[in-house]
Structure 1
């Protein structure tokens, strides 16, 4: 135990030094983070599309797109793709659905990018995009972009060929090359640097390289490796402990006052997972806060294999949510209503759960609005 305490103390000192360096140099100032460009795929798609566009306002013509293709190396399968004549579109509508980013070289070749920061796969999504891409008879490639390079679900992709790429590796590496390309365009260069820093924060890579090396050196000692292993094995359980101590008692009391039942499941760094039931709902429906496909969300859930909300009640529910200013909503067979929440971070745990009730109050507000929206709908009362 003493070895673990010593290791934590050494790492804490290095981490504090890294924070001081960032504060002293303004390294934590980032307009992308300030403006909330975190989990919205459309916003990231717009940024990437503008950079990839030969006619983009960056003024660097086709060079950034060529750099993107070169960065994919041997994994890029389209022969003779003409980046000089390329046209870039976001949210391109087709009979097979909306394509996040479409890059068409005007010579029957195309790059199709499905951008998944946190969103869940849609049924047969890549299969449908592959059908759409058949019109590009001289070659096309499907790119599946996620934060960490996750693969698409089998339900989405089937046997369709696609390439998984990540913000953590492919996009950041490409953007760093773009910084060099934009060396004589200071506004573009500094914007790229800020976006890179933002992506590094989203992918947990925002530590100074010298401090990383120092941590590696500390961990390289065998006794510290054993201590690090013990910390790793208990890391997830720590968030469960914190939720049980700082969140659950408040939520249990609030839910009990509503005549409902609180069911806590599990916590990790990115989420607290729980659901709420009522005797009136007869096990058909529940309010859930859950985590799927690397994204935190909440809403009203039902099992469509046992019972499914009628179209009339679904419409009424969404009308009520509109009146309560609950927007950015989505729905599926399992979720008559759901909305995304920002994934939790260590900062959230410290400032919004341990040191304040901010996260609890936010959950409480969402639950109260959802309960209000359910009032008067016969299926729920």
Structure 2
């Protein structure tokens, strides 16, 4: 495909928003939160509560009620896991409603059913909630379902997607620094939702354009791009350490910490590798990351690299993972210098002068 054809093709392709997630370091140790709907319910209930620990007053509750076109509740109570009797279904024990916003003035209630983690609908779920609340003297004025990346119509009055919720939080409480990581978490959870929209855009281009896009992207999904880059890096390192140190290289393609993940192992070939080596990760065609792998029997003592908290056999730069954007020029220059420096530190006594 010629440069002219590529430029013409790019002009036809719409902007895709869901191509990659947002970097959020907090997510390295909060996987439990993203996987458990009860955690989200607890966080959102506190944010909806004007007297919650967030200190934001009515910022979120007022924005939420306006979003679902519900009149203002001046005096409210927020309940999570609220028990109501089963009226329309058989079964032992009561129903549990994820979140209830209760108007203390007249017992009007907004039901929020949390499906952010794509939980399946239970039998007559919403209708049974409404009947159970009516039995207890409440009046349900609105039902809301927080949908995950795989929407499931459960008959709620209003469906809010993960991205809807993230945008609502950002507009109402975006100035709160403490909430930024949670908002980013929601956006990343909605990554699949955006990706579906992007795929729909792609298929709307027509078969001929779609075939050309596939042809253009083939070097990426067949690892041609990563192999080309790794071979360039290997060639540069061989020139730098020519007649000084013989290095071994191993290109590996498989999943580890990232879905789209390839890495290059670099170690000293002359004798044992001493139980440690450099791993250069090529992450999602977005960046290179430098890590040092160390066997559990060994321990590294480098000025700039420290043991990773999550992966004990890996060492990362003390100021955060050393990364280099791709595409760009840094992976050909600055990154090569960083790797060379590390090689000299790891195998300093074996380098021939």
Of Structure 1 and Structure 2, which has the larger fraction of its residues in strand?
A: 2
Of Structure 1 and Structure 2, which has the larger fraction of its residues in helix?
A: 1
- The alignment's TM-score, normalised by the length of structure 1, stands at 0.44
- The alignment's TM-score, normalised by the length of structure 2, stands at 0.47
